[in-house]
Homo-oligomer: A and B are copies of this chain.
């Protein structure tokens, strides 16, 4: 498989493409040859968009969503309800929830879930900044919109405990979601309904 491709440029492109998740050397070679067959603009637009993406995007100072400026468009939007903060695992979940058009508040992106097996502890996540945000700003409700998995439930419970005693209601997405599935694969109708039917966090303890 490590045959040289008779061109250092092709070698380099295949090696870089094969670093992407789910793309092996054979697929990488197929993609590179596809780009060579197409008109030059296709490859140049792809390459440029990837470089621009990485150079132009950073993270929102408030919610840690990706953003092209210091504060993301959602946090900067005065029509959004800043008293309702939806806590999500990652940037993709923001996109998924925005797709339902059911959440008019703002977000807080944790950057992962607590997972001792993967060595991810609360201090690796944006949990302290969430607690600070609740303490210092006028937050009335924290919606825990994490995947209904072991890691998601652990993280939800950890945050619930951290926020207990503060004048904020902590809710969790209605368990219309299928237990054990990742949030991002849930269809938008189900996900939208579970945002509307969110329940107080401690009602799950019965």
Contacts and interface: CB of A to CB of B under 8 A. Distances in A.
A108 to B, nearest CB: 15
A43 B53 contact: yes
Contact of A31 (B13, B20, B33, B66): B20
A68 B7 CA distance: 7
Interface stretch (A22-30, A119-127, A147-155, A169-177): A22-30
Interface residues of A, number: 56
Contacts of A10: 53, 57, 66
Contacts of A204: none
Contact of A53 (B21, B35, B91): B35
Is chain A's binding surface mostly helix, strand, loop or mixed?
Answer: helix
B50 A6 contact: no
Interface string A29-46: 111111110001011111
A30 B34 CA distance: 21
Given A20-B34, A21-B31, A92-B33, A3 B53 contact: no
Nearest to A45: B16
Contacts of A52: 9, 12-13
